[in-house]
Every structure is written in C-alpha cells, then in structure tokens.
C-alpha cells in the first residue's frame, strides 16, 4: 500500500481505475483498496488567507 501520514484521522488507499478529461482538470476515479477511520476526535481544519489554523471557542 501507499505510505500513511502520521496523525491522520482517516485514509483511503486507492488504485487508479479511470481518468476523465474535464477542461483544464483531470478527474481521477479510484478503486478503494483500503480504508480506515480513527476514533480520535479533533476539530475541523481551517484554511484562511493562505494559512492553516483551527476554530477556537470565544472566552
């Protein structure tokens, strides 16, 4: 299988099944070979103004 990044909440390992041209993009359709979802609870990831962060509750 493919390498799995440390700390991920889930991963899907796929084999390329089909490719479709979509203008200036290519749509890849994968056949799922492995899937795992970890039970660890984390908040959503935020991407804003070119940076990653997280949501915080106001004090």
pLDDT tens digits, the chain, 59 residues: what are they?
788 888 888 899 999 999 999 999 999 999 999 999 988 777 777 888 998 887 777 77
Strand partners, 29: 18
Q: Is residue 34 part of a domain?
A: yes
pLDDT at 35: 93
pTM of the full structure: 0.57
The structure tokens 């899907």 sit at 12
Domain count within the chain: 1
Q: Is residue 28 part of a domain?
A: yes
Q: Is residue 41 part of a domain?
A: yes
Q: Is residue 4 part of a domain?
A: no
Beta strands in 1-59 (DSSP E): 10-22, 25-37, 45-48, 51-54
For 38, the domain range is: 10-54
| CA angle centred on 32, ends 23 and 17, rounded to 5° | 40
Q: Is residue 14 part of a domain?
A: yes
Contact 46, 55 (CB under 8 A): yes
């Amino acid at each position: 299988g493919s390498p799995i990044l440390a700390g991920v909440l889930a991963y899907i390992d796929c084999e390329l099944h089909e490719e479709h041209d979509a203008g200036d993009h290519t749509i890849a359709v994968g056949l799922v070979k492995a899937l795992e979802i970890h039970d660890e609870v984390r908040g959503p990831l935020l991407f804003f103004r070119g940076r990653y962060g997280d949501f915080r509750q106001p004090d």
